[in-house]
Amino acid sequence: MFYGLAKYSPQLLAVLRIVTALLFFEHGTQKLLGFPPMPAGMEAPAGMNPMMLFAGILELVGGLLIGVGFLTRPTAFILSGEMAVAYFIGHAPMGFFPATNMGDAAILYCFIFLYLVAAGPGAWAVDNAAQRNPA
């Protein structure tokens, strides 16, 4: 029953890429624009430190690039590294287990982006249009 779904792999990969990008983009808007509002106790955009500012820019711009599928592999590589750093700097010091140190999202983002480095953007990506029309 499930083997017939393999023909939809490029489309499902694109759905994974787009949904991941939208969620990641939202983290960027949260850090840079204050929307949606940060949870209580978290840093507001006005009091942002340089590391949070840099992370917000990566998340906003990277989320947009991944979402449209432009420069997917190099962008995903950079974002995977950002999430690894975020986990080890921001989450791991709060405890060993990701479920208790709130680092499970960072780990998931890290490995989804790492997968996109290897797999590419899937269907519905600007990268694919560039390949069909070489300059």
| CA 15 – CA 112 distance, rounded (Å) | 12
CA atoms within 13 A on the CB side of 3: 0
Give the pLDDT score at 57.
95
| CA 83 – CA 8 distance, rounded (Å) | 28
∠ CA 99-101-103 to the nearest 5 degrees? 75
| CA 8 – CA 14 distance, rounded (Å) | 10
Kindly report, residue by residue over 35-65, the tens digit of the pLDDT. 998 887 776 665 668 898 999 999 999 999 9
| CA 34 – CA 27 distance, rounded (Å) | 10
Give the pLDDT score at 38.
81
What does R_g of the chain's alpha carbons equal in angstroms? 16
Within the chain, which residues score under 50 in pLDDT?
none
* pTM across the whole model: 0.91
Give the pLDDT score at 44.
63
Give the pLDDT score at 42.
72
* Number of C-beta neighbours around residue 37 at 10 A: 10
